[in-house]
Every structure is written in structure tokens, then in C-alpha cells.
Amino acid sequence: MTNQAQISNPTDKKVNFEALEKTALTIRRDVIKMLGIAGSGHPGGSLSSTDILTVLYFQILNHDPKNPASPDRDRVIFSKGHGCPALYSALAESGYFDRKMLLTLRQLGSPLQGHPDRRRLPGIDASTGSLGQGLSVAIGCALAARLDKKSYKTYTIISDGELNEGQIWEAAAFASFRKLDNMVTILDYNKYQLSGATKDILDMEPVVDKWKAFGFKTREIDGHSLREIYDAFVWANGVKGAPAIIIAHTVKGKGVSFMENDNNFHGVANTKDETARALRELGENEAEIQRIVGMIQ
């Protein structure tokens, strides 16, 4: 697939949504392949964030895969680190590293660990996975940009289970108090967390009202509509005087029928048979399906 990653923000150009759809499909296929071969990981939350990551990396971000440490790059804090297979695919598709490396997910010695490690993989701005911390890291990046008089943005993707963490709300209060309008938060609101539905574990509704009460500008969207995601990023980047959050309503396991809204796939990888079935649903060619299945123990 053609590398669509941009060195400068292309939001003033015509958006090729058809190309973005193809990229999202590639990422979904990658997630299934990676997790099937690894035999462990988190398919549900990886698939729910795929469309958000697609628009972010291939249409919004100011980044250069050939210069991942550029001081002027936009930062991405993937706070829901367990969903990193989708992030790894987006990075590889952007050109940060060879796509062949994707199939080494969670293998001994691989830089593609079960949670992102910024010390081992280009394109990772923060090591994440301890839920609730990502927004605080993003604040540090946003404050640094302000102090250094840099124009880069910091984008943070958080999960709805993370909203149970008090640190999220401490960070939210601070971001609003400091009027950090150079950071954008995206809530992957798939309504599930590790041990069940969020409404049954600790219902955080009314979510939008909470963020408004903490001083954030808010926008609700369909987190699988590439156009709505794109429009929301453009809106968020135009917000002044306050931090912005995009509440993206998503489906856990999106794109694979038997995984959608089935929380058994929160942290259990697809089996050999499930891998073949999922890849067929995602339109993968049979030769590739058999190659991948043959690599699964």
C-alpha cells in the first residue's frame, strides 16, 4: 500500500476517504494476523481504535517517519496501551519500520511489546499501559510546547475504562486551568473494559457533561465514520483558550462480526480458526490467510 504519511499537516487538502478506508482495512487485517500469531493480546480495543488512528496518522498528524525524533513533530500519547497492535500497524504503514516486523508482536526480543515502549520503537512518544497516566503525559508535552514556543500539537487516545482513574480527572482539571488548547484528547468510547460493560463496573455517564464541567470543549462523533473523525480533528485543532476532547462512540471489536461487542475478546487473542474466519470477513486473499494460519501454533 502507498505510504500516506505526511510530513506536514494536510488538513487544507482534499481528503481521500476511499484511501483511508483501505488503510483502516489493512490495519484491521494486521491486528488479526499479529494477535493470532502472538497467541495473546487485545483484539477488541485494538479494532475499536483503528479508524481514529487511521485518520490521525494518515491525514492529521504533522510527522516524518524518516525523522521520528523531530522536535517539531506532533506528539501521540496512546494511553490505552493494550490496544497497541493497531498503533503498531499504523506506524509500520506510515513507514516508521518494516511491516514484516509486525508479525513479531510479543515475541522475545521484539521491540513490538504487549504495550508500547518508547525506548525500543521509533514513533512511540510515551511508554503506556498503566491506565490513567496518558493524559498527564500529554499535559507535560503541551506545557513543554508552550514553554519552548513550539507549534506542535499533542494528541491523546484514552479508553472509557480509564475514566475510572482519578488521575484522569486531576489531569483534566489541570489542562483546563492552564487553558492548554495545544492538546487534543480522543475518548475511544466502546462501552467495555476488562471485566465487563463500563455501565456495570463504574458508570461514568453523563460523560460529555463531566468533560464540559472540567472546562473542556467537547464534540461527540461516530468513531467509525472517517469523515466525522476527520471533521472532529479539524474542529479540535481550531479550539482556542481551552483543551478539546472528541467523544468517539465506537464498537469493541469493530469490523469482525463475532468480535463486535463481545468482551471475551478484550484480552484474549483470536485462535487459528477465528483468525481465518476474521480475515475472510475482512476480505483477505486465501493464500495469505493460509500463510498466516500456518504460522499459528
Other C-beta atoms lying within 10 Å of the C-beta of residue 287: 8
CA dihedral 188, 191, 193, 196 (to 10 degrees): -170
**pLDDT tens-digit series, residues 272-296:** 999 999 999 999 999 999 999 999 9
Band of pLDDT at residue 14, cut at 50, 70 and 90: confident
What mean pLDDT comes out for the span 45-65? 98
User: Do the Cβ atoms of 251 and 242 come closer than 8 Å?
Assistant: no
The domains of the chain are located at 17-294
What pLDDT, in 10s, does the model give residues 86-138? 999 999 999 999 999 999 999 999 999 999 999 999 999 999 999 999 999 99
- Cβ contacts of residue 54 below 8 Å, gap of 6+? 20, 23, 24, 27, 90, 226
Give 297's pLDDT tier (boundaries 50, 70, 90).
confident
Query: With bands split at pLDDT 50, 70 and 90, how would you rate the model's confidence at 13?
Result: low
Q: Are 248 and 52 in contact (CB under 8 A)?
A: yes
pLDDT reported for residue 8: 42
pLDDT digits (tens, 9 = 90+) for 136-165: 999 999 999 999 999 999 999 999 999 999
Each as own residue / partner, the long-range contacts of residues 258-266 (CB below 8 Å, 24 or more positions apart, any chain) are: 259/43, 259/44, 259/47, 261/192, 262/44, 263/44, 263/192, 263/196, 263/197, 265/43, 265/44, 266/42, 266/44, 266/45, 266/192, 266/193, 266/194
Q: Is 40 helix (H, G, I), strand (E, B) or coil?
A: coil
What is residue 10's predicted lDDT score, i.e. its pLDDT?
Answer: 46
How many angstroms separate the CA atoms of 38 and 203, rounded? Answer: 33
The whole-model pTM stands at 0.95
Q: What CATH superfamily classification does 17-294 receive?
A: Thiamin diphosphate (ThDP)-binding fold, Pyr/PP domains (3.40.50.970)
| Confidence class for position 7, pLDDT limits 50, 70, 90 | very low
Distances (CA, A) of 93 to 10, 61, 88, 186, 256: 17, 14, 8, 21, 21
Confidence category of residue 2, pLDDT binned at 50, 70, 90: very low
With a cut of 50, say whether residue 4 has pLDDT above it: no
- Separation of alpha carbons 191 and 217, rounded Å: 21
- Asked whether the beta carbons of 242 and 216 are under 8 A apart, the reply is yes
Rg of the chain over Cα atoms, rounded to whole angstroms, equals 18
Give backbone dihedrals phi and psi of 282, rounded to 5 degrees, phi first: -85, 5
